[in-house]
Amino acid sequence: MCSTCGCGLTRDDDHRGVISEEAHGSGNFVHLEVMRHLLEENQNQALHNRNHFCRNGVLALNLMSSPGSGKTTLLEATIEAIGHDLRIGVVVGDLETERDAQRIRARGVPAVQISTGQGCHLDAAMVHRAIEELDLSALDILFVENVGNLVCPASFDLGQCRNVTLLSVTEGDDKPAKYPIMFRAADLVVLSKSDLLPYLDDFDPGAAQAAVRALANDSPVLTLSARRGDGMENWLHWVQSELGRFRARHTPPQLPAA
């Protein structure tokens, strides 16, 4: 149960005393009111975060997926490939432990760990507190590794520029159909752990892409193995292209020297 987004409130909660007795109407109505308030507050903070990123010319990418899809491994491979040319920072969300942030720091990249406790996603306020520990003026790209969850993270704007959704080939090619909000929100879908495809007979990358297209999402779908390096060039090209487009929109022109 999430203690921060209201997803723990169900239509039966009012009969168990979870919803305030002062609330009138159905449990569904109260649930919607809670979510509306939370999302409005989150949107205000997300706009504030976005202004920070734009002022500093930092491309913020929100990585979302279920647990174990390979987000941290992809970040490690990305740092190894372009970390010498681009200044990278990472914010990591997990319920507990600093293990993923420690893996990132071991690569020489600043990383802030957010421990959400019972929270099933990051929100804009959490990200704002995290970026206060980073020098945004010293970064080109900020990766936000969201909590492993295919439901709630898609509903909370963090101020990011783009959403990246990972789908491991071990999860099944039907996940975009089962979790449409997450995959509809994706600006890029990454089919990860492709080195395992020869050992699986129930994952078809074409079927996964068709499921994404059925959501009226025409964003790129990339297949890669961060561990083996297959397909990484397409991912790196996408990241660098997005940074170029972002900088063209948000970096003030440099004045000539007097």
Is pLDDT at 254 greater than 60 in this prediction? no
More confident: 83 or 17: 83
Q: What is the mean pLDDT of residues 83-111?
A: 93
Question: At what angle are helices 124-131 and 27-56 packed, to 10 degrees?
Answer: 30
Going by C-alpha positions, the residue among 95, 186, 87, 103 that lies closest to residue 141 is 87
- Please tell me the distance from the alpha carbon of residue 191 to that of residue 167, in angstroms, as a whole number: 5
- Residue 242: phi, psi to the nearest 5? -65, -40
Is pLDDT at 227 greater than 90 in this prediction? yes
Is pLDDT at 14 greater than 70 in this prediction? no
> What is the pLDDT at residue 11?
40
Half-sphere exposure of 184 (CA within 13 A, CB side): 10
Is pLDDT at 136 greater than 50 in this prediction? yes
Mean pLDDT rounded to a whole number for the chain: 87
Is pLDDT at 193 greater than 80 in this prediction? yes
Q: What is the mean pLDDT of residues 43-71?
A: 96
Is pLDDT at 199 greater than 90 in this prediction? yes
Q: What is the mean pLDDT of residues 181-189?
A: 97
Whole-prediction pTM value? 0.86
